[in-house]
Amino acid sequence: MPAKPRFVWAIIGCCWLFVILTTGCGRSIELKPTAESIFSSSVHEIARAEQVPLVMDSVDIVRNDSPQNPSLETEQRILGRLREIGLFSRLGDMNSPEPPASQKFIRARVTFDEVVDSHPGDVAWKGIAIGVSMFTLAPFIPLNYDYSAHVTLELERWDGGVKRYESQSAGTAHYKIFSATSLMIDELKGHVTESCLTALMQQVVNDTGFYAASSAPLLDRPIRSVSVKSKRSKLTPVPISIVPAK
């Protein structure tokens, strides 16, 4: 083959490789709108003297109906959003000591119900098509990764009153074969989680008066009296022996 045609084919091959590497590595994230993201709440202020501390009681994560170990990053992210709304005097994580019973405080419980769908069947046959085509179809075959979360936040007041908030969000990562990285998945989860927490904080702020120190008295804990009964229902008479007088 003459040198000039080889040079032309080399240029064409480099251009095609450049297209594969650039287009095949592209990705985008689509966050689906939810009902909670439509409304907006006004910021309510609470006096410093009316603020009470909040302690995180539990953070539970369930992914595809399978319990997961909660991460410290998730707990700190929730506490950070609660700190931003400024309703509580102090925030404590799950390792923090609980305030004494004589003090007003809030217990927080959070549950993440996650659903992950990486479309394994779709990825399998598309991967076969990409392999058969020697990766020439890689820039043109889209792949999807779906992630949704339903988050429940339960706040228990010192008098036993409970407020329960719920929010859900979902998103899809559109990517090509060369951009399937853990960074893409973490980015998608971050957007969905942020959307859920934003909706939850809006709901909490709307109930600002519920968390004020003057909203409810501190319940007294009276000393319970316990009556103890004898196991012997009847006294057994003691026999008396008569001694004859001499």
Task: Give the H or E element holding residue 55.
Answer: strand 52-63
Class of CATH domain 16-37+46-215: alpha beta
Token pair 């007088």: residue: 245
Q: What is the mean pLDDT of the segment spanning 224-240?
A: 45
Q: What is the mean pLDDT of the segment spanning 112-122?
A: 80
- Token pair, residue 214, equals 């003057």
Determine the Cα–Cα distance for residues 46 and 53; give it in Å rounded to an integer. Answer: 13
Confidence of residue 23 (pLDDT cuts 50, 70, 90): very low
Task: Give the H or E element holding residue 204.
Answer: helix 182-206
For 36-65, what is each residue's pLDDT tens digit? 544 444 456 789 999 999 999 999 999 999
What pTM did the predictor assign? 0.71
Residue extents of the structural domains in the chain: 16-37+46-215
For 82-95, what is each residue's pLDDT tens digit? 999 999 999 999 99
52 touches 104 (CB < 8 A): yes
**C-alpha torsion angle, residues 208, 214, 215, 217 (rounded to 10):** 150
